[in-house]
Amino acid sequence: MPHWKFKLHEVIYEADTPAGKIFDIALLFVIIISVALVMMESVTSLLLKYSWEFYIAEWVITAIFSIEYILRIIAINKPKRYIFSFYGMVDLLSTLPSYIGFIFGGANLLFAIRALRLLRVFRVLKVTRYIGESRKLIDALKNSRAKILVFLFAVFIICIIAGTLMHLVEGKGGGFDNIPLSIYWCIVTLTTVGFGDIAPVTPLGRLIASLIMITGYGIIAVPTGIVSAEYSKATDKPIKNTQVCPNCNEGRHLDDAEFCHNCGFKLNG
């Protein structure tokens, strides 16, 4: 593996050197601008007024993302590992729609696909690794996941039963016209969101609604209790570097790792 490739990999994939940090922050900046552009393009009045500026900006960003995509493929030993990874797919879908839109037209559907570019925002979260705190938070959440899913599943069954009940009580014609709609209303109510576009009008319906609300208010304690307990248990992990193996794209290495624990490749050139 030539030295320039090693350096390039370090700058693009990692964030431990000054150059790597600058690259990451610059990329972050471009991603945020591209997301802001997609948002602004959705506002009709802005689109009509600045259509030409949007057109230019779209091309500049597509060019930057294309160059970045090519560099990422060049900088790695096994490009397939990157191309078929989750971020590899997202990166490709961030540039492709613009090109297709140019050749074939059909901006409307492509706008939808281009919105996928938003997923790149998650790269931003990589930066949060600098904030050592977030590791512990993510670990606590990972440990709580199974339990919270069981809880949300139970909540969903409560909503199905309560929704059917409300449909039978409030009857057809109002906001509880069919069971799926009633279940939707139950979720809105149990989670204490309460839009108010649908609301019970019969005394019995209001009584059941009260019970649903009090249930929702009482059981919100469950996920909270789970996360609290898991969070107290979680310990701070020592990994603070952002090293990525230039050979196989593996991302988690100990601070003093010399070789990749996945493919045995020497990490520091």
Structure tokens at 15: 């964030």
CA distances from 197 to 175, 193, 201, 221 (A): 8, 11, 12, 27
* Total residues at interface with its own copies (CB under 8 A): 85
Contact flag: residue 199 with its own copies (CB under 8 A): yes
CA 119 to chain centre: 6
Tokens of 152: 């949300």
Nearer to its own copies, 73 or 213 (CB): 213
Joined together, the tokens standing for residue 169 give 């009580």
DSSP state, residue 85: S
Sequence-ordered list of residues with C-beta below 8 angstroms from that of 79, at least 6 positions apart, any chain: 73
Give whole-number Cα distances, 206 to 2, 93, 98, 167, 213, in Å: 73, 49, 52, 12, 10
**Least gap, CB of 186 to its own copies (angstroms):** 9
Comparison of 197 and 256: residue with beta carbon closer to its own copies: 197
Q: How far is the CB of 132 from its own copies (least distance, A)?
A: 9
CB atoms closer than 10 angstroms to residue 234: 18
- Interacting span for its own copies (CB under 8 A) from 63-71, 135-143, 248-256, 261-269: 135-143
What's the distance, CA 19 to chain centroid? 26
Query: What's the min distance (Å) between Cβ of 94 and its own copies?
Result: 14
The CB-of-98 to its own copies minimum distance in angstroms stands at 17
User: According to the binding rule CB under 8 A, does residue 180 interact with its own copies?
Assistant: yes
- Position 239 contacts its own copies (CB under 8 A): no
Binding piece for its own copies, criterion CB under 8 A, among 84-92, 162-170, 237-245, 253-261: 162-170
Mind giving me the DSSP string for 198-249? S---SHHHHHHHHHHHHHHHHHTHHHHHHHHHHHHH------------TTT-
Nearer to its own copies, 60 or 161 (CB): 161
Binding of residue 258 to its own copies (CB under 8 A): no
Position among 20, 97, 216, 246 found at the interface with its own copies (CB under 8 A): 216
Give the interface segment with its own copies, choosing from 8-16, 55-63, 84-92, 196-204 (CB under 8 A): 196-204
Which CB, 180 or 269, lies closer to its own copies? 180
Cα→Cα distances 161→103, 164, 209, 221, Å: 52, 5, 13, 21
Site for its own copies, residues 65 to 104, rule: CB under 8 A: none
Q: Do 265 and 9 meet the contact criterion of CB atoms below 8 Å apart? A: no
With CB under 8 A as the contact rule, the residue among 22, 146, 204, 254 that binds its own copies is 146
Q: Which residues contact 78 (CB under 8 A, 6 or more apart)?
A: 247, 248, 249
Strand, helix or coil for residue 17: coil
| Residues between 23 and 42 with contacts to its own copies, criterion CB under 8 A | 35, 38-40, 42
Give least dist CB 256 to its own copies, A: 26
Give the residue, chosen from 12, 31, 190, 267, that forms a contact with its own copies under the rule CB under 8 A. Answer: 190
Residue 133 in the binding site for its own copies (CB under 8 A):
yes
Question: Minimum Å distance from CB 55 to its own copies?
Answer: 18
